[in-house]
Amino acid sequence: MSKGLKSRKKQRLIVLSTAVAALVGAVLLVLFALGGDSLSLFLQPSSVLEKKIQAGQRFRLGGLVQDGSFKKLEDGLTYKFVVTDCAADIPVQFKGLLPDLFREGQGVVTEGALDATGTFMADTVLAKHDENYTPKGTMPKNVEACEHPEKAAGY
């Protein structure tokens, strides 16, 4: 098979079938991977409570850091704060250096899972946004519920 030149038709057939196989493989890959852990939900506090997310399931939690909720624990490295969408709150615990743009009253995106007591144990706090606008999805859906919506908008 490998020796000799084939007709143009045959050559095209081989190239096409390899390409199709690669594409089908890629689609399967996508389906497989998107079904697994690599796909994480992005939720605001009220939808977390609504959907009754189980402890241990990883997801991204977005919302505003509630004013006055920020605390540092004894060890100096663990932080506690509350993420709110003005309708519901979720306490968050995070150990590590907080990103430069972390502020009370501003949007934040964290990644982790709930523990048995309902505290969100975050292992990542994302901060790849500038402070001119709220990171995508952290603006409360029911913004009227907030006392200071202009603050919620990040101005």
Partner 1 sequence: MIPEIGHFALAVALMLALVGAIVPHVGIARSDARLMGLADRVIYGQFLMALIAFGALTYAYVISDFSVLNVAANSHTAKPMLYKISGVWGNHEGSLMLWVLTLTLFASAVAWRGKELPLRFRSRVLAVQSALIVGFLIFILFTSNPFLRLDPVPVEGNGLNPLLQDPGLAFHPPMLYLGYVGLSIAFSFAVAALIEGEVTPLWARWVRPWTLSAWMLLTGGLVLGSWWAYYELGWGGWWFWDPVENAAFMPWLIASALLHSSIVVEKRDALKSWTILLAIIAFSFSLFGTFMVRSGVITSVHSFANDPERGLYILGFLAVVVGGSLSLYAWRAPKLSPSGLFGMVSRESALVLNNILLSTFAAVVLVGTLYPMMLEATGGAQITVGPPFFEFAAIVLMSPLIVALGFGPLLAWKRGRIGRAGQMLIPALIVALVAFLAVAWDSAGGLLMTGFGLGLALWLIVSVFLELFERLQLFKKPAKVLSRMKALPRATWGMSFAHLGIGVILLGITVSEAWTTEKLLIMAPGEQAEVAGFSFRLHGVEPVAGPNYTAIRGHFTVAEDGQVFNQLFPEDRVYTDQVMNTTEAAIAPIWTGDLYAVIGESAGEGKWSVRLYFKPFISFLWLGATFMIVGGIFSLTDRRKRIGAPKGKRNKSAAGAA
Alpha-carbon gap, residue 144 to 151, rounded angstroms: 12
| CB-nearer residue toward partner 1: 54 or 117 | 54
Q: Are strands 89-95 and 58-65 parallel, antiparallel or unpaired?
A: unpaired
| CB-nearer residue toward partner 1: 42 or 67 | 42
| Least distance to partner 1, CB of residue 97, Å | 4
| Least distance to partner 1, CB of residue 68, Å | 18
Helix (H, G, I), strand (E, B) or coil at 126: strand
Alpha-carbon gap, residue 65 to 89, rounded angstroms: 10
Alpha-carbon gap, residue 83 to 139, rounded angstroms: 11
Which residues contact partner 1 by CB under 8 A?
A: 1-8, 11, 14-15, 18-19, 22-23, 25-26, 29-30, 33-34, 36-43, 60, 72, 75-77, 95-101, 128-133, 135-137
| CB-nearer residue toward partner 1: 71 or 72 | 72
